[in-house]
């Protein structure tokens, strides 16, 4: 039975709390789950194929405090991601010490929406070089549409969209349509991959749609540091500035 009044709903909630108390339960126990205290070794979690895919642990020097609570860290990962370690990959690198940690770091996975980031960076690079302007437009066509859940899917073919709007939809709404439109503008997937590689954000492919955790880590490292020509750093800073201002 559903009671529409707020007073009735509050009464229902209080009754639930009373019933929980009768059964020896509490709201805290019901809604907040603690990480189990069971001891988990790194070997039991990280290795799926000891011969071909050992866990990646580097920099064992004395005094290096990175991943100091490694056992707790691994325990938390297992709690969050589950025991089927072949289903996920992790790559972490401390950019100061150079220490790395990985699980299935070189295994191929589908990158999902991570692959949108290079499109945004390359687009802003074009704007930096005056090859594009925020208010230049691209035309939406049926061939650009893949998923009905994309915001641009419902808009008519032939409609015009500014680069500024496409960047917002790409980076904020994770819309796949702007990625297809920009990819066509860059001359297709092969030309895009080549240009992305040149500015240090390659390593993601669309056909097939795959990458590795280590390759994504390399992209993010390049984004953080920028290369010697500062091609990435300038464009990436503008990615986040523009996202915040849209």
CATH superfamily of 112-245: DD-peptidase/beta-lactamase superfamily (3.40.710.10)
Burial class (CB in 10 A: 0-12, 13-18, 19+), 158: exposed
Closest CA to 86 of 50, 46, 38, 40: 46
How far the first Cα of the chain sits from its last, in Å, is 45
Q: For tokens 């325990």, what's the residue?
A: 75
> How far is Cα of residue 54 from the mean position of the Cα atoms in its chain?
24
pLDDT attached to residue 197: 82
**More confident position, 133 or 76:** 133
pLDDT attached to residue 180: 94
Distance CA 195, CA 41 (A): 43
Per mean pLDDT, which range of 3-12, 29-38, 161-170, 212-221 is the poorest? 29-38
Answer yes or no: is pLDDT of 73 > 80. no
pLDDT attached to residue 68: 55
Q: Domain-by-domain residue ranges, the chain?
A: 1-32, 42-103, 112-245
In the predicted model, what is the mean pLDDT of the chain? 71
Q: Residue range 159-166: average pLDDT? A: 95
Answer yes or no: is pLDDT of 108 > 80. yes
What is the chain's length? 246
pLDDT attached to residue 43: 38
Per mean pLDDT, which range of 40-54, 56-70, 84-98 is the poorest? 40-54
**More confident position, 129 or 49:** 129
Span 9-22, pLDDT tens digits: 545 545 544 444 44
Angle at 208 between CA 173 and CA 202, to 5 degrees: 70
Span 168-219, pLDDT tens digits: 999 899 999 999 999 999 999 889 888 888 877 777 667 777 888 888 888 8
Q: Residue range 55-84: average pLDDT? A: 61
Paired tokens of 164: 């500024």
Indicate the Cα dihedral angle 28, 29, 32, 34, nearest 10°: 130
Q: Residue range 145-167: average pLDDT? A: 95
């Amino acid at each position: 039975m559903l009671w529409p009044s707020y007073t009735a709903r509050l009464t229902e909630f209080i009754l639930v709390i009373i019933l929980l108390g009768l059964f020896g339960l509490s709201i805290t126990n019901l809604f907040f789950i603690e990480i189990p205290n069971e001891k988990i070794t790194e070997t039991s979690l990280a290795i799926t194929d000891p011969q071909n895919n050992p866990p990646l642990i580097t920099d064992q020097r004395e005094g290096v405090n990175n991943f100091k609570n490694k056992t707790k860290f691994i325990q938390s990962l297992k709690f969050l991601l589950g025991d089927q370690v072949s289903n996920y990959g992790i790559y972490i690198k401390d950019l100061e010490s150079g220490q790395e940690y990985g699980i299935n770091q070189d295994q191929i996975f589908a990158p999902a929406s991570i692959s949108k980031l290079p499109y945004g960076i390359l687009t802003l690079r074009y704007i930096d070089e005056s090859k594009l302007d925020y208010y230049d437009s691209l035309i939406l066509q049926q061939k650009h549409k893949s998923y009905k859940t994309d915001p641009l899917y419902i808009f008519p073919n032939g409609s015009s969209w500014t680069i500024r709007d496409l960047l917002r939809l790409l980076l904020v709404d994770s819309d796949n349509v702007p990625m297809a439109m920009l990819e066509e503008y860059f001359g297709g997937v092969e030309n895009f991959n080549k240009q992305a590689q040149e500015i240090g954000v390659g390593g993601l492919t669309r056909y097939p749609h795959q990458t590795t955790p280590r390759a994504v880590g390399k992209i993010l490292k390049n984004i953080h540091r920028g290369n010697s020509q500062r091609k990435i750093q300038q464009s990436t800073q503008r990615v986040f500035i523009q996202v915040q201002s849209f």
